[in-house]
Amino acid sequence: LASKTFKPEPSIIDVGGVKIGGKEIVVMAGPCAVESREQIMAAAQAVKKAGAQFLRGGAFKPRTSPYSFQGLEEEGLKLLKEAKEATGLLIITEVTSERAIEIADSYVDMFQVGARNVQNFQLLREIGRSKKPVLLKRGPSTTIDEWLNAAEYIMSEGNYNVVLCERGIRTFETATRNTLDISAVPVVKSLSHLPIIVDPSHAAGKAQYILPLSKAAIAAGADGLIVEVHPNPKCALSDAAQQLPPEDFCELCKDISKIAEIL
């Protein structure tokens, strides 16, 4: 179902009127995690002003350590909905379990499957049974074939609203958190009709590399970006090193629209 042989023409996924996979570059941005009303409102206003169409923010956080901040759960989802009402931004959030899917369903416009859950086949099937659009991240160690099979799990249950997201893979390189596999963009385009966006934040792990990686992603043909933006990155409760302050995100949006124009 995900392959180009099944469907040769590119799919356009409509989320609340925003089309992913069409001519326009779609930008999703916001903090790694929802931390407070003040933080998510400031982030929402800033990313809206810069031109993003989606606000991202984790409420169920899959942290490496069980002792790290795990997210505000339903309280976080309520705050995301408030931010939507205040700005008109669409909302995307990660779901990590069947329970999270049930809770998040009425608050958000798009589910995110995180890198760690790309081969959680039970979760993928559950998401397939919901009709909500889903952003499926590539795992740090999944091949493109395994990743497309993960999409197949969702689609085989009847949910065709799948958008892929390259977010860096694990390699021997330690200068960045992961290695952004820019090749995944043209490779996925050659194998699948599904749209693909790039997450430079989790790929790089360092704010200073987000701009060049974003430009490379758009130049390579990505349909959009998902970028971590925090009103005060130094104080972030998760992924502090990679979150952009609003001013830098604004510059990023200007630069990528220049690139998109010449493509």
According to CB under 6 A, which residues from 138 to 177 bind ligand PEP?
A: 167
Tell me which of 2, 28, 32, 83 binds ligand PEP, using CB under 6 A.
Answer: 32
According to CB under 6 A, which residues from 96 to 115 bind ligand PEP?
A: 114-115
Shortest separation between residue 239's beta carbon and Mn ion, angstroms = 4
Say whether residue 72 binds ligand PEP (CB under 6 A): no
Tell me which of 2, 32, 89, 100 binds Mn ion, using CB under 5 A.
Answer: 32
According to CB under 6 A, which residues from 190 to 209 bind ligand PEP?
A: 199, 202
- Return the exposure string of 163-185: e unless at least 16 CB atoms fall within 10 Å of the residue's CB, then b: bbbbbbbeeeeeebbbbbbbebb
Shortest separation between residue 165's beta carbon and ligand PEP, angstroms = 7
Say whether residue 233 binds ligand PEP (CB under 6 A): no
114 binds, among Mn ion, ligand PEP, none (CB under 5 to 8 A by kind): ligand PEP
According to CB under 5 A, which residues from 238 to 257 bind Mn ion?
A: 239
Interface residue list for Mn ion (CB under 5 A):
32, 239
